[in-house]
Amino acid sequence: MTSHTHPYAELAARLGGQASYFTTSEGELTGYTAGDLGASTPVILVHGWPEFASCWEPIARELLKAGHPIIAYDQRGYSPGLRPEALEEYTVEKLVNDLGEVATAAGTDRFHLVGHDWGGVMGWAAVPHMPDRIATFTSLASAHTRAHGEMIAQDPDQYERMEYLRKIRHHPDQIVTSMLRDDAAKLRAVYQGVIPCHVEDSYVQRFSDAEVFAASLKYYRALGLGTDMPTQPITVPTLYVWGSEDAAFARCSAELTGQYVEGPYEFVELTGRSHWLPEEAPEVVATHLLTHFARG
């Protein structure tokens, strides 16, 4: 279903695709598709925090040029049609289920999965949950969940980098107010000046609705709730792309990640790049993705 009021109507048109509402058992997720989903294995692109599915436009354009159809969606909380109140509705298990239902709603049984930040966190759990559906997995920025957890416990630098997470968990209301004050100055600072201004402005515009921003924080607040999703074994071909200037994921976590992958694995370090790989380095990322997809 599409509409002139759809947030991705213009973006989808630029890609020659369609703005979509993916109907799941719990509600609708906003997104877009492009390319012939039945012609070859689609690529599902899953954003992180604080972003929306619009982060993928430059990468999607490169993938489409190479003949790969794409599916991108706003995760729960970000999508107005699926924004539950309860914290337990924002567990990783829920995010993984959403992925499977989006793929089914789009009519695809098997797909390449690319996740950034929380999209990557979700992906590390999705692969063991549905290995037959995921042709390849790529995590942008996010280290394997267990590697990251180990380093938070062992490495002072990685522990300090997670201070924002602890603040979100303990003072969510204060974080919402603080981040959105003064034309979202603190939220804008999170992007480190590396995201194109028009993209940053689009994020801030949508997050200026405090309800949306508060929902996005529930991912962090829900950690430890619900079923503990296994993040092993990782048996599908896996690519991990990490920027050397990532503010959240330290080198120790990045380098340990490979120990938790049993299938074919490639680690790519982008020297001088930040956490914001989809927006900052789309052409470089797309080149690595195309090579990686050939393995699946």
What digits encode the pLDDT tens for the residues 71-97? 999 999 999 999 999 999 999 999 999
25 token code pair: 């058992």
pLDDT category at 295 given cuts 50, 70, 90 is confident
Q: What SS3 state is found at 238?
A: strand
Angle at 125 between CA 123 and CA 126, to 5 degrees: 60
Q: Where are the beta strands (DSSP E) in 6-121?
A: 18-23, 28-34, 43-46, 70-73, 111-116
Distance CA 56, CA 52 (A): 9
Rounded Cα gap, residues 247 and 249, in angstroms: 6
Dihedrals φ, ψ of 15, to 5°?
-90, -5
Contacts of 250 (CB under 8 A, 6+ apart): 151, 155, 157, 158, 161
- CA-to-CA distance for 126 and 147, rounded, in angstroms? 16
State how far the Cα of 175 lies from the Cα of 181, in Å rounded to an integer: 10
Q: What is the pLDDT of residue 5?
A: 84
**Cis amide leading into 84 (omega within 30):** no
User: Whole-prediction pTM value?
Assistant: 0.97
Phi and psi at 237, nearest 5°, equal: -55, 125
Residue 275's H or E segment, with its range, is none
E-strand ranges in 127-193 read 134-140
Q: Determine contact, residues 218/78, Cβ cutoff 8 Å.
A: no
4 confidence band (pLDDT: 50, 70, 90): low
pLDDT-above-90 percentage for the chain:
95
- Give the start-end residues of each E strand in 39-184: 43-46, 70-73, 111-116, 134-140
pLDDT score of 227: 82
Rg, C-alpha atoms of the chain = 18
